[in-house]
Amino acid sequence: MEQSYRVFAYRWAVLAATMLVNLTIQVLWIAYSPITSAAASYYGVSEMAVGFFAMSFMIAFIPLSIPASWLIDRFGFVRTVGAASIAVGILGVARGAAGQHYAPAFAVTCGIAAAQPFLLNSWTKIPAAWFPARERATAVGLITIASILGTAVGLVLTPILAVSMSIARVQIMYGAAASVAAVVFVFVAREKPKLPPDESACRERAFMIEGLKHALKTPSFLRFLVIAFIGMGIFNGVTTWIEGIVRPRGIGSDQAGILGAIMLIGGVVGAIVIPLFSDRAAKRTPFIILGLSGAIPGLVGLALAPGFGLIAASSFVLGFFLIAVNPVGMQYAAEAARPTPEGTSNGLVTLAGQISVLLVYAMEAINNITGTFTASLIAAAVLLGFSVLLATKLTEKGEPDQQRLAKA
């Protein structure tokens, strides 16, 4: 019997609900970074201890990513993401209710961090079920944009709110917003449409364990894991330590939040433009190379620029190119690893990115030794250059690795 296909308009509602929960958890992740010094004083701890509010998300992801991917592939994203989103909302409010007590606030943060893998590892699962292949990088790009906007809200709004209310109350507000997003997701999200969007959505996916083995035996997929480790590590490091990066150049926490937002605005533009061209060209590798290459001058500018204007321009360039690699790369990884389930390939890529907490920690360690983040940012630019070389070895969809090697 011939299979029928149909692209449903409701896919945008499902995508919007997914974007909303990803936006709110990013606010909760980054909320302390632009007020690191004030939060350290509020809780009576060191700035490194405040940094662990953000780094705990990356640390928790390492052991939980694979189990979360298995649960997504086994029970579907509606149940798993819905349950995780509800937990995030409740725990977000509880973090604020902890008041000035660091230990319970941090413990609750670890609970929020434990729920995050369910949201991040579904990024390619949802487009695979609802969107035709020609729109999937764009769909992942829109989820990326929501995540970027959440980070921007946390960076810009937190210092403003912290002037007129306590840090604990700010967290209660963010938790309440996450609760609303969870309710919207539960009522709107659906696992799959009545008819698949195209033939690729019908292809049988390998069971997770077999799919995991297949992905880890695919050379191009493994290369992209290294790229994800470097790229996400740089992004997480810059956003986590943004205040400390620019403080030596006379820039305060309010302006630091603005610079972080400028980087993310660049990322929003890049995450719209570059995945759109990638979908139209039906290619991923050239756009991954473009994003990694373009991010290098932005990162060098962030490290060396003397004034706010040049730092702002560098931040925009860095965001435009580096963040755009994420949606294109996520879709590339899903295509390169097939028939591995999307939740599994997505989870492995995100896991590689979260292991980059090592780079985030190293940035602060180098800062303690040198008194500046300049050295670590220059080292990060060198790592991006290595990523470009690695990206040139990626195999485009449908081209065997042996064929690519023969061309080299």
Query: Can you tell me whether residue 340 is helix, strand or coil?
Result: coil
> 3-class secondary structure for 61-85?
HHHHHHHHHHHHHHHCHHHHHHHHH
Residue 375 and residue 252: Cα distance in Å, rounded?
21
**What is the share, in percent, of the chain residues with pLDDT greater than 70?**
93
Residues 6+ apart with CB under 8 A from 149: 23, 26, 264, 268
Please determine, for residue 339, whether its predicted confidence score (pLDDT) is greater than 70: yes
Q: What is the CATH number of the domain that holds 354?
A: 1.20.1250.20
For residue 15, being part of any structural domain is answered with: yes
320: pLDDT strictly greater than 90:
yes
88-136 residue pLDDT tens: 999 999 999 999 999 999 999 999 999 999 998 887 788 888 888 788 8
Residue pair 334/281 in contact (Cβ under 8 Å)? The answer is no
Q: Scanning the structure block, which residue is given the tokens 């992801």?
A: 61
Residue holding tokens 């349950």? 83
Report for 68-72, 199-203, 376-380: range of highest mean pLDDT: 376-380
The predicted model scores a pTM of 0.72
183 Cα distance to chain centroid = 22
Cα 247 from Cα 197, distance rounded (Å) = 50
Residue 2 lies in a domain: no
What is the CB-side half-sphere exposure of residue 290 using CA atoms within 13 A? 15
* Alpha helices, H only, 282-356: 285-304, 308-337, 342-355
**pLDDT of 234-260, one tens digit each?**
888 887 787 788 888 878 767 877 888
Residue 407 predicted with pLDDT over 50: no
pLDDT for residue 402: 40
**Residue 272 covered by a domain:** yes
Residue 406: count of CB within 10 angstroms of its CB: 8
Identify the burial level of 200 via C-beta atoms within 10 angstroms of its C-beta, where 0-12 means exposed, 13-18 middle and 19 or more buried.
middle
Quick check: is 343 in a domain? yes
The boundaries of the domain holding residue 249 are 11-407
pLDDT in tens, 134-157: 888 788 878 878 887 898 888 888
**Any domain includes 262:** yes
How far is it, in rounded angstroms, from Cα 402 to Cα 408? Answer: 10
Residue 380: closest CA among 353, 394, 365, 362? 362
Looking at the domain assignment, is residue 126 inside a domain?
Answer: yes
Contact of 131 with 97, CB cutoff 8 Å? no
The answer to whether residue 231 is domain-embedded is: yes
Is position 259 within any domain? Answer: yes
Per-residue confidence (pLDDT) for residue 58, from 0 to 100: 81
Structure tokens at 52: 């662990």
Q: What is the domain count for the chain? A: 1
